[in-house]
Amino acid sequence: MPPVSSVRPLISAEAIQARVRELGAAISHDYQGKDLVVVGVLKGAFVFLADLVRAIELPVAVDFLSVASYGAGTESSGVVRLIEDLSLPIEGKHVLLVEDIVDTGLTASYLLDNLATRRPASLRLCALLHKPARCRVEVPIAYRGFVVEDVFLVGYGLDHDQRFRNLPYIGVLPGRE
């Protein structure tokens, strides 16, 4: 496992926080007066989700679900497994699905399809990062933090084999550039 000091910063903690505030303001505006449930995708989105909900100036319900598509590798297997489901009902609610990164689009597409069957009033996607070079399935991203290059990223919730999530910035894993 490479040391933390070898991770090349790509997006600074300051740039992330500024963008999260902008996303929070846009979401606050768009969902004013609506019953909003923010759903975080574990584990990668937990840091982003925590900062994002604090930037949303509305009362929100928060729930989580957990999926797996990577395992210990750096390439998506293409198979999405739902590991943990929501604990709250979302029928008739406005749902904002929060992802750390959309690269192939397979996970986001699976989750959007799954959640849509539960009859929410609306369903939109917020992704901190979008990696269009790896897209296999187009998904509508209503709120997008940053468009990034096709490199393996860690930090701010993103991991490699469960490591590096605690970095306050997003960086490139050495040897994955």
Catalytic residue among 51, 100, 103, 159: 103
Q: CA–CA separation, 129 vs 60, rounded Å?
A: 22
Alpha-carbon dihedral angle through residues 138, 95, 62, 113, given to the nearest 10 degrees: -50
Cβ atoms of 125 and 100 within 8 Å: the answer is no
Active site residue 35: no
- Helix pair angle (13-30, 46-55), 10° resolution: 50
H helix runs in the chain, sequence order = 13-30, 46-55, 106-116
Q: Is 44 left (phi over 0), alpha (psi -120 to 50) or beta?
A: alpha
Supply the residues annotated as catalytic.
Answer: 103
